[in-house]
Amino acid sequence: MTSLLTFLIAGVLLVAVDGHLLRRSGTAYLRELGDNAGPLNQLVTVVFHLATLGLVALIAILPMDLGGEPKTVVGRIGVLLLVLAVAHALTIWTFGRIRARHESELLTAEVARRS
C-alpha cells in the first residue's frame, strides 16, 4: 500500500511539474495567436493533464514485481517518465501544429490582400 501511495504522489507531482512547464512554454510559443493563445494553450494543457494522470492511474495498477517495493516503485516511475516524455513531445508537437496553421492562415490572408 505504501508503494502505491508513493508512486501516486510522485506521479501526480511529475505530471503537475511537467504540465506547468508546458503551460509556460505554450504561452510563449503561441503568443502570436493573440486572444486565441490563452484558450488554446489551456485546452492543450488540460488534455495533457487528463491523459497523463489517467496513465499514472493505469501504471499504478499494472502488475509489476521487480523484487521488492523500492525496486517496483522505481520501475513504475521509470515507465511513467518514459510515458511523460512521449506525452510532452506530443504536446510540443501540437503547439507547433497550431502555430504553423496560424502562420499559414496569416500568409494566405497576406497573399489574398496583395492580389
Q: What is the pTM of this model?
A: 0.82
Nearest CA among 55, 58, 40, 42 for reference residue 87: 55
**Parent domain of 65:** 1-114
Residue 87 is predicted with a pLDDT of 95
The pLDDT tens digits of the residues spanning 85-110 come to 999 999 999 988 988 888 888 888 88
Helices (H) then strands (E): counts for the chain: 3, 0
- What are the residues whose beta carbons fall under 8 Å from the beta carbon of 65, sequence distance 6 or more? 72
Give me the number of domains the chain comprises.
1
Q: Which residue's C-alpha cell is 504540465? A: 19
Confidence of residue 17 (pLDDT cuts 50, 70, 90): very high
Q: How many angstroms separate the CA atoms of 36 and 40, rounded?
A: 6
